[in-house]
Amino acid sequence: MTVDGIVNDVALQFLCEPTVHVMHTAKRPTLVRLRVILAHLQRGERVTAGMMAAELNVSLRTVARDFDYLMNRLGVPLKYDFRKKSYVLTGDIPPILIDPTEAYDER
């Protein structure tokens, strides 16, 4: 059997196998996801990991990592409110995370 024949056989096996559901975080890059989460929080909307995972088409675990990154690495004053069963902002967002057009409006 030639190399082309082997490649064709492998490709056919791969294409004929049932599709496995895989989460694609690349559909929404990390910075886009963080900005979407922050926008919801800034508007005072109810924000849960499940809601964000559904909207962003990523896993709950990915959203949990995003919340962790916002709180622990970027210093966003964010906490989980057990009464509201959602995340809430507890202060101002650090200036580096504000949209540049918003920063100019404050001056």
**Domains of the chain with bracketed CATH:** 23-106 (1.10.10.10)
* Beta carbons of 17 and 27 less than 8 angstroms apart: no
| pTM strictly above 0.85 | no
Contacts (Cβ under 8 Å, ≥6 apart) of 58? 23, 24, 25, 27, 28, 33
Q: Can you say how many angstroms the Cα of residue 20 is from the centroid of all Cα atoms in its chain? A: 21
Tell me the average pLDDT of the chain. Answer: 76
Rounded distance between C-alpha atoms, residue 54 and residue 56, angstroms: 6
Q: What is the pLDDT of residues 86-96, one digit of tens each?
A: 999 999 887 76
* Beta carbons of 76 and 70 less than 8 angstroms apart: yes
Contacts (Cβ under 8 Å, ≥6 apart) of 74? 34, 94, 96, 97
Separation of first and last alpha carbons in the chain:
72
Q: What is the pLDDT of residues 23-63, one digit of tens each?
A: 444 567 888 999 999 999 999 999 999 999 999 999 999 99
